[in-house]
């Protein structure tokens, strides 16, 4: 079923960076208008909701929504940071109730995202273990000491790890907003929104040939379990049997459910994950293609070249020549 709305929730916690909350709201509403009225695109619209988490003993409460009907299930939840100081100890301390609320949304298929110090909140939820994330460069040592089980890369402004997306700097909410616009509405809307708001579009958004944005809010627990296992293990030797075992189902059932829910086979999904990561490495590093091939799960570099050409339309070398550093 094609959704008519993309439900995005913004968490308004104590000490929240208000520029991020209202700036992101403006970006998404501007994207709606431009896609609909200027570009005449047949795209779903962003439904933006604000959730007040200032209370300590209850779930966050809906305080704003740009549509008449509030969402039952968020597709994206954004946890902004705060501005008070560069001391991580001066961070907002989310209540256990709020952490459970965030984790429950994530486990139901919501993409969890953060800006700057918001990564601490997601880490406290226990959903970032083994995942690739970023935060403000000033917190690198503290974050690594507190959460050694999380793969931190402070060189990235945006770290898109599938159902976890983190933004690094204090003002990186702009990059996150444009990244999500590109993810759901495409690069033409990103460029038009950037032009209207007089901000530089992220270079990485202009590089998309095919935009792999897997859904996690489909409501199929079996497929979601397989997706998350694949997100953490795609760089290792993976066969269909292992994916099925991780999802505690048979290979035949797994294939059928993937086709039904995601309109692709588990094997095709795996290739998309690997190629998406290969593209990031080609854009941001000078690693040889042979090393990138190994890092994303291909023991044979020719396999990477074939899959990359099939999915992206360019060879890895051609892609790097156009879009590398």
Question: What percentage of the chain reaches a pLDDT higher than 90?
Answer: 66
Among residues 319, 318, 315, the alpha carbon closest in space to that of 304 is found at: 315
CATH class of the domain whose range is 5-207: alpha beta
pLDDT digits (tens, 9 = 90+) for 136-145: 988 988 999 9
- Work out the average pLDDT over 107-134: 95
Tokens 């208000």 — which residue?
Answer: 18
Query: pTM above the 0.85 mark?
Result: no
Can you read off the two tokens belonging to residue 23?
Answer: 């700036």
For residue 23, with 0-12 CB atoms within 10 Å meaning exposed, 13-18 middle and 19 or more buried, which class applies?
Answer: middle
Q: What is the pLDDT of residues 75-97, one digit of tens each?
A: 999 999 987 655 545 567 788 99
What's the burial of 143, exposed, middle or buried (CB within 10 Å: 0-12/13-18/19+)?
Answer: buried
Whole-angstrom Cα distance, residue 305 to residue 47?
39
Longest dimension (CA), the chain: 56
pLDDT confidence band for 3 (50 / 70 / 90): low
d(C-alpha 211, C-alpha 209), whole Å: 6
156-195: per-residue pLDDT in tens?
889 999 999 999 888 899 999 999 999 999 888 998 999 9
- Three-state SS annotation for the chain: CCCCEEEEEEEECCCECHHHHHHHHHHHHHHHHHHHHHCCCCCCEEEEEEEECCCCCCCCEEEEECCCCCCCCCCEEEECCECCCCCHHHCCCCCHHHHHHHHHHHHCCCEEEEECCHHHHHHHHCCCCCCEECCCHHHHHHHHHHCCCCEECCCCCEEECCCEEEECCCCCHHHHHHHHHHHHHCHHHHHHHHHHHCCCCCHHHHHCCCCCCCCCCCCCHHHHHHHHHHHHHCCCCCCHHHHHHHCCCCHHHHHHHHHHHHCCCHHHHHHHHHHHHHHHHHHHCCCCHHHHHHHCCCCCHHHHHHHHHHHHCCCHHHHHHHHCC
Mean pLDDT of the chain: 89
pLDDT digits (tens, 9 = 90+) for 273-310: 999 899 889 988 899 999 999 999 999 999 999 999 88
The stretch 186-214 carries a mean pLDDT of 71
Per-domain boundaries in the chain = 5-207, 221-323
pLDDT one-digit tens code per residue, 4-51: 789 999 999 888 999 999 999 999 999 999 999 998 888 889 999 999
Q: Identify the pLDDT of residue 89.
A: 52
Using CA atoms, how far apart are residues 45 and 36, in angstroms rounded to an integer? 8
CA 267 to chain CA mean position, Å: 21
pLDDT band at 204 (very low <50, low <70, confident <90, very high): very low
Could you report the per-residue pLDDT of 222-233, keeping only the tens digit for each?
999 999 999 999
Structural contact between residues 73 and 220, judged by C-beta atoms closer than 8 angstroms: no
CB-CB contact of 118 with 80 (8 Å): yes
Please name which of 148, 78, 83 lies closest in space to residue 114, comparing C-alpha atoms.
78
5-207 and 221-323 share one fold: no
Whether the predicted pLDDT of 313 surpasses 90: no
Alpha-carbon distance values, 146 to 81, 124, 141 (Å): 17, 10, 9
Q: Report the CATH architecture of 221-323.
A: Orthogonal Bundle (1.10)
Reply yes or no on whether the pLDDT at 243 is more than 80: yes
pLDDT in the model for residue 312: 84
77 beta partners:
9, 112
């Amino acid at each position: 079923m094609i959704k008519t709305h993309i439900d995005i929730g913004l968490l308004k916690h104590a000490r929240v960076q208000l520029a991020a909350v209202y700036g992101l709201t403006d970006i998404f509403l501007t994207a709606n208008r431009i896609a609909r009225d200027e570009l005449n695109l047949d795209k779903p619209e962003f439904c933006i909701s604000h959730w007040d988490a200032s209370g300590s003993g209850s779930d966050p409460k809906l305080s704003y929504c740009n549509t008449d009907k509030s969402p039952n299930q968020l597709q994206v939840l954004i946890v902004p940071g705060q501005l008070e100081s560069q001391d991580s100890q001066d961070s907002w301390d989310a209540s256990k109730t709020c952490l459970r609320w965030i984790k429950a949304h994530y486990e139901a298929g919501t993409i969890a995202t953060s800006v700057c110090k918001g990564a601490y909140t997601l880490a406290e939820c226990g959903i970032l273990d083994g995942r690739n994330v970023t935060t403000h460069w000033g917190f690198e040592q503290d974050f690594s000491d507190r959460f050694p089980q999380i793969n931190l890369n402070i060189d990235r402004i945006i770290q898109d790890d599938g159902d976890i997306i983190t933004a690094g700097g204090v003002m990186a909410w702009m990059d996150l907003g444009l990244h999500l616009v590109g993810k759901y509405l495409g690069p033409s809307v990103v460029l038009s929104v950037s032009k209207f708001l007089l901000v530089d579009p992220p270079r990485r958004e202009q590089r998309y040939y095919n935009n792999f944005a897997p859904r996690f809010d489909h409501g199929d627990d079996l497929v979601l379990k397989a997706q998350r296992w694949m997100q953490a293990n795609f760089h290792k030797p993976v066969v269909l049997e292992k994916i099925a075992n991780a999802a505690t189902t048979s290979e035949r059932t797994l294939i059928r459910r993937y086709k039904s829910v995601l309109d692709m086979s588990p094997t095709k999904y795996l290739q998309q994950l690997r190629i998406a990561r290969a593209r990031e490495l080609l854009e941001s590093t000078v690693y040889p293609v042979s090393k990138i091939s190994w890092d994303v799960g291909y023991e044979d570099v020719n396999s990477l070249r074939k899959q990359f050409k099939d999915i992206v339309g360019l060879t890895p070398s051609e892609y790097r020549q156009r879009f590398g550093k």
